[in-house]
Amino acid sequence: MPSRDLHEENRLAWNAATDAHNSHKADQARFFREGGDTLFPEEVELLGDLAGVTLVHLQCNAGQDTLSLARRGATATGVDISDTAIAFARQLSADAGIPATFVRADVYDWLAEAARGGRQFDAAFSSYGALCWLSDIRAWARGVAGILRPGGRLVVVEFHPFAMIFDEQWQHKYPYFGDGKPSTWDEGIGDYVAMAGTALAPSGYVEGVQSFKNPHRSHEWQWGLGDLVTAVLDAGLALTALKEYPYSNGAKQFEGMRELAGKRMVPPDGVPNLPLMYGLVARR
């Protein structure tokens, strides 16, 4: 069962964090009007041709990737629990001149509502720090299967759960197996955009909010690769791609990470490689 009370606390934490994150990004509407695109090659490859595709972007945050998907030809709907993120996304869509639909909802509620309404999408997409906010991965996968047309695809690009066992100093501090239980962070969601600098601000980095402290705590769930794949298969989807990558796009989660071309972050020199991201495609 999804833990909606914890999702609500996360909504408050995301509202506060999203304001701080966007305060560091220079004129994003202009970036899009001038042809900007926030997608990385991994999701572009896994999503394939988007011309004429009906797509739902689950947990879209402030909509930058949703607009990039729409720019590539998708009829895009972004869904997110954060009021601030959805308000920002709607304004950005209007200011950038890229039409897309944005809905503020808990993803579980939206999936149930869309299935009740008989809605069928060609593609569902979720990426970069989305799955850790899901309190019930199996219910989520069933919900996604319920809104895909036959042949429709789920595409996930995520930070690798194996890397989540490390603290910032690469010490093995956290368990790999989350057992479906939440981890609660009293400090809530931090200002990781400020920490990443230009890597997460493609429109340009500006000083913005300083010394951000989130007044709301947050709750996350650790889903292993086996949890996700099993949930997807049990939901009746067929796995067609599962890739692991030795770098993470845009996010320097650990001390001493080096930045390669294309904002690919890798471990410091001398540290053996490890999986830092994965991509999954499954079809109904």
Ligand X SMILES: C[S@@+](CC[C@H](N)C(=O)[O-])C[C@H]1O[C@@H](n2cnc3c(N)ncnc32)[C@H](O)[C@@H]1O
Q: Using CB under 6 A, which of 22, 59, 77, 222 touches ligand X? A: 59
Smaller CB distance to ligand X: residue 81 or 154?
81
DSSP state of 273: P
- CB 201 → ligand X: shortest distance, Å? 12
- Closest by Cα among 124, 18, 32, 138 to 79: 124
- Closest by Cα among 128, 244, 143 to 192: 128
Tell whether residue 218 is a contact of ligand X (CB under 6 A).
Answer: no
Query: In the block, which residue shows the tokens 């999701």?
Result: 43
Question: Are 137 and 198 within 8 A, CB to CB?
Answer: no
Question: Two tokens at 120?
Answer: 């069928």
DSSP, collapsed to helix, strand or coil, labels residue 117 as coil
Tell whether residue 133 is a contact of ligand X (CB under 6 A).
Answer: yes
**β-pair type (54-58, 148-159):** unpaired
89-118 mask for ligand X (x: CB under 6 A)? -----------------xx-----------
Candidates 79-87, 140-148, 232-240, 251-259: pick the segment binding ligand X (CB under 6 A): 79-87
Tell whether residue 249 is a contact of ligand X (CB under 6 A).
Answer: no
Question: Are 14 and 216 within 8 A, CB to CB?
Answer: no
Candidates 6-14, 227-235, 263-271, 273-281: pick the segment binding ligand X (CB under 6 A): 6-14
- CB 271 → ligand X: shortest distance, Å? 25
**For the chain, how big is the Rg over CA atoms in Å?**
18
Tell whether residue 47 is a contact of ligand X (CB under 6 A).
Answer: no
- CB 207 → ligand X: shortest distance, Å? 21
For 171-182, letters b (16+ CB in 10 Å) and e give eeeeeeebeeee
Smaller CB distance to ligand X: residue 73 or 256?
73
Q: What is the dihedral of CA 83, 88, 93, 97, to 10 degrees?
A: 150
Tell whether residue 251 is a contact of ligand X (CB under 6 A).
Answer: no
- CB 95 → ligand X: shortest distance, Å? 17
- CB 45 → ligand X: shortest distance, Å? 17
- CB 135 → ligand X: shortest distance, Å? 7
Tell whether residue 14 is a contact of ligand X (CB under 6 A).
Answer: yes
Question: Are 175 and 261 within 8 A, CB to CB?
Answer: no
Smaller CB distance to ligand X: residue 128 or 272?
128
Candidates 39-47, 95-103, 123-131, 137-145: pick the segment binding ligand X (CB under 6 A): 123-131
Q: Which residue is nearest to ligand X (CB)?
A: 129
Question: Are 61 and 80 within 8 A, CB to CB?
Answer: yes
- CB 174 → ligand X: shortest distance, Å? 18
**β-pair type (277-283, 148-159):** antiparallel
Question: Two tokens at 116?
Answer: 């009740």
Residues that bind ligand X (CB under 6 A): 7, 10, 14, 59-61, 64-65, 80-82, 85, 106-107, 127-130, 133
